[in-house]
Structures are given as structure tokens and as C-alpha cells.
Amino acid sequence: MSTAYTPRPIDPGTLAELRRCDDAGRECVPYVDHEGGSPLRCCLRRVAPGERVALVSYAPLRRWAAGSGAAPGAYDEQGPVFIHAEPCAGPEEGREGYPFSRAGTLRVLRRYDARGRIVGGRLLEITEAAADDLDAAFGEAFADPAVALVHVRAVEYGCFQYEVRRGD
């Protein structure tokens, strides 16, 4: 199923930086994930058992603000994300649906304006019609002309999943 909006992975240039030093100033420490299952933000899929990954601190709003000239102030936050330890090909070509959208999961869609300030949010329980659920939630968010981007986060740990920008 295709989607109306484009989930953005972490861009390759930022990934290269995070593989050296993360957004909290810590050196990247790769390891082999023998169990798998964690969400990868570089290619928007789950870790396969045996893959070499790293858990790094990432500040998505700070990174976006640096390129857009926004000043998010206190809304700037960082948190843990999983990435491949070495460069990967990114999201699979022709991937269907939204990543990490299994029925029954809860997501928070946090809306930001062009200044990088929170202008609303929504709690969403994903159903079997995940793409329709998320299409509607993004449509609702971008119906507000003040919304420049939306961050999707997991409720359980607050982890950043991916970003969708106006016009994507």
C-alpha cells in the first residue's frame, strides 16, 4: 500500500557524523545485535538478528533547525536511536506503507512550526489500516498552515521513529 506522505530516514551526512560522535558528544560504540527487532532510523526497518548496529543519541529537531534557520529553544531534545554501524543503502526501494506501524502500537505525532516550536500533537493507535490511519493523521496535521513538520514517536519509550515534512 502506498502512502500519501514520505517518512524521512536520518540523512546519510548526519549518519556519518553520528557514527563518529553522537548528538550528546559520545563516541559511537557499534555492537552485533544477536536478537534483532529494534527500529533502525537509517533505513526505516527493524534490525535483523546478527546485524552490526549502534545506539546513538540523536537530536532531530536541532538537526532540522540548523538547516532551516529555526530556533527551537527548549523544544530541542535528543534521544536514543538505532542505526547501522556502517553505511547502508537506506530505505528499501519501493517499500510499502509506513515504517514501524504494526496494528495495536501507539504513536505520538508531534507537530512543529517553522520556528521549531510545538504547535500540537496527537496520540494515534495504529489499526490494521495503518497507512490510512497515518495518512489521515498527517493530513489533519498539515491542514494547519502553521505546521512545517511532524515527528512520529513511540509512546512506550518516547523514541523518535521518523519525520514527515510539509510537501513530502
Give this prediction's pTM. Answer: 0.93
Grid-cell match 502506498, residue found: 2
Taking only the tens place, the pLDDT of each residue in 115-154 is 999 999 999 999 999 999 999 999 999 999 999 999 999 9
pLDDT number for residue 95: 80
Distance CA(61)–CA(101), nearest Å, equals 22
> What would the pLDDT profile of 85-122 be if each residue is shown by its tens digit?
999 999 998 788 899 999 999 999 999 999 999 999 99
Beta-strand runs (E) in the chain? 31-33, 39-40, 45-46, 51-58, 79-84, 106-112, 118-125, 149-154, 160-165
Q: Which residue has the higher pLDDT, 2 or 102?
A: 102
Q: Where are the alpha helices (DSSP H) in the chain?
A: 12-20, 60-68, 130-142
Taking the C-alpha atoms of residue 51 and residue 68, their distance in angstroms, rounded to an integer, is 34
